[in-house]
Structure 1
Amino acid sequence: MMESKKKHAAKRVLGILLAVLFVLLLLALLVNAFLSKREGKPAFLFGYSLLWVQTESMEPTISARSYILVHASDGRDLPDGTVITYISRDESSPVCGSLVTHRILSHDAAGYHTKGDHTASHPDPVPVAPSDIVAVYVTNLPVLSVLGRIFASPVGLILTLAFFLATTTFLYIPDIISALKEDKDGKTAEEEKEKEIRRRVEEEIRKLEEADRKGEKK
């Protein structure tokens, strides 16, 4: 009995943790995406932020449609080879005014000269000014990237929610069955108790009636 209660408690805790982690992850991604879109630059927390890299220009270092972790930077004194996130000022590019993550090839008085790591990428035509650099690349986030790709697809999001609900339901089914059984057993015990009380009351009434009849005969 004690072992069964421990298992139920462990499943309940696991279910709660899964729900909390799922909700926190969704909130973090939504808040980060909302703030980044509103400000036009990453939303930093303790100097760090998550960024969604849409294209393959940085492959194989950063895969397309991946989350990366970046650290805020003022763009000064960055060594060649640093991967930076900056606001593009290339008016000939469709991403002008948007965030771009590329590697520094060299730097001079004109600014930082950058290029994507992909073999098909060409050096960016417009040097990057230090004031346009918002962050430096720290690392890839493969788990979040997988989740991000799933959430980016309506079908994937539906399947994820379905899996979450199914998992939570599976974890709580034993508790639900146990609760229903306990409720049924409780009702049965209560009914038996009421029957026993009625039986005793009726028995006492019969005894009193018999005593009255005996008294009348005397």
Structure 2
Amino acid sequence: MTILGSAVFAALLSVTVYIMVCGCIGKTASIFGYSVLKVVSGSMEPSIHEGDYIYIKKTDTDSLKAGDIISFYSQDDSIKGEINTHRISEVLSDGTFVTKGDANKIEDSVTVQKVSIIGKYYGKLRFFKWLGSFASTKKLLILFVIIPTVCMAVYEVKTIAEIKIYSNREEALKAAEEEKEKLMREAVEKEVQRLKMQENEKKEANSFESGKDNEG
């Protein structure tokens, strides 16, 4: 795994953990201009099911119309301040919205103010529902913390070992190269000495021959 690959993996893991944790505590997760939230009731079935993770985006409230699905902070006393996701059934002349869950028989008793709107529904993130279908707190801990930590630790140990092996190999190659150069220098020095001795012997032989000629 390259450094870039590790960074991408870490980023995706962080985003996944962030979204799952926010879903577990009933908060929205903001990612790249979108908000992701977990639906906690079946009031929008069959369009949206309980446990679905949906993504919404802040939009111009003046562009909203009947039929759009929006997420908003409810002003209904029974669930005041909680996030609700329902379909707009009517836009009133005062700019407020009448909403209704697809599975509900009647419209919501309290209209939605523009300032209460979080965003417009754009779709589902099925991967997170799949994770949530088997992920208890303990399983989430194992899946997103323990396993990635072990994988990263193994990867780091492997990387360190490879660096050590590479370093040792480099040192061995360097030592071998130095030994080779040393042997070459010794061989050259021996050859130079041999040639000098040969030259001296030749000179002595010539000198001896010259002496004999002079005696004759």
The aligned counterpart of 2:116 is: 132
Q: Is the 1:66–1:148 contact (alpha carbons within 8 Å) kept by the matching residues of 2?
A: no
Q: Is the 2:17–2:144 contact (alpha carbons within 8 Å) kept by the matching residues of 1?
A: no
Once residues 135 and 91 of structure 1 are traced to their aligned partners in structure 2, the CA distance between those partners, rounded to angstroms, is 21
Supply the AA of the counterpart residue of 1:159.
L
The aligned counterpart of 2:78 is: 92
The percentage of aligned residue pairs carrying the same residue is 22
The aligned counterpart of 1:20 is: 8
Q: Secondary structure at the match of 1:55?
A: coil
Cα deviation 1:11-52 (Å, max 9, x = unaligned): 53xx62353253266269759x99xx9xx988686xx42231
Once residues 52 and 41 of structure 1 are traced to their aligned partners in structure 2, the CA distance between those partners, rounded to angstroms, is 5
Deviation at 1:164, TM superposition (A): 7.1
Q: Which runs of 5+ in 1 are unaligned?
A: 1-10
The aligned counterpart of 2:68 is: 82
Q: Secondary structure at the match of 2:174?
A: helix
Q: Secondary structure at the match of 2:48?
A: coil
Q: Does 1:113 align with 2:98?
A: yes
User: Structure 2 vs 1, CA of residues 20 and 146 (structure 1 numbering), >3 Å: closer, same or farther?
Assistant: same
User: Structure 2 vs 1, CA of residues 154 and 123 (structure 1 numbering), >3 Å: closer, same or farther?
Assistant: farther
Once residues 112 and 105 of structure 1 are traced to their aligned partners in structure 2, the CA distance between those partners, rounded to angstroms, is 8
Q: Secondary structure at the match of 1:80?
A: coil
Give TM-score scaled by structure 2 length: 0.59
Cα deviation 1:52-79 (Å, max 9, x = unaligned): 1240333332233443222323434633
Count of residues in Structure 1 that have an aligned counterpart in Structure 2 = 193
Supply the AA of the counterpart residue of 1:49.
Y
Once residues 31 and 8 of structure 2 are traced to their aligned partners in structure 1, the CA distance between those partners, rounded to angstroms, is 22
RMSD: 4.8
Give TM-score scaled by structure 1 length: 0.59
Q: Of the two structures, which has the highest relative contact order with CA contacts closer than 8 Å and spacing of 6 or more?
A: 1
Q: Secondary structure at the match of 1:134?
A: strand
Q: 2:167 aligns with which of 169, 183, 186?
A: 183
The aligned counterpart of 2:139 is: 155
Q: Secondary structure at the match of 1:16?
A: helix
Supply the AA of the counterpart residue of 2:73.
I
Q: Does 1:56 align with 2:41?
A: yes
The aligned counterpart of 1:8 is: none
Q: Does 1:142 align with 2:130?
A: no
Cα deviation 1:135-186 (Å, max 9, x = unaligned): 221111223555677888353243234247528956995x766654443333
User: Structure 2 vs 1, CA of residues 59 and 75 (structure 1 numbering), >3 Å: closer, same or farther?
Assistant: same
Supply the AA of the counterpart residue of 1:70.
I
User: Structure 2 vs 1, CA of residues 50 and 18 (structure 1 numbering), >3 Å: closer, same or farther?
Assistant: farther
Once residues 88 and 133 of structure 1 are traced to their aligned partners in structure 2, the CA distance between those partners, rounded to angstroms, is 9
Q: Is the 2:13–2:144 contact (alpha carbons within 8 Å) kept by the matching residues of 1?
A: no
The aligned counterpart of 2:208 is: none
Q: Is the 2:57–2:122 contact (alpha carbons within 8 Å) kept by the matching residues of 1?
A: yes
User: Structure 2 vs 1, CA of residues 17 and 100 (structure 1 numbering), >3 Å: closer, same or farther?
Assistant: same
Q: Secondary structure at the match of 1:90?
A: coil
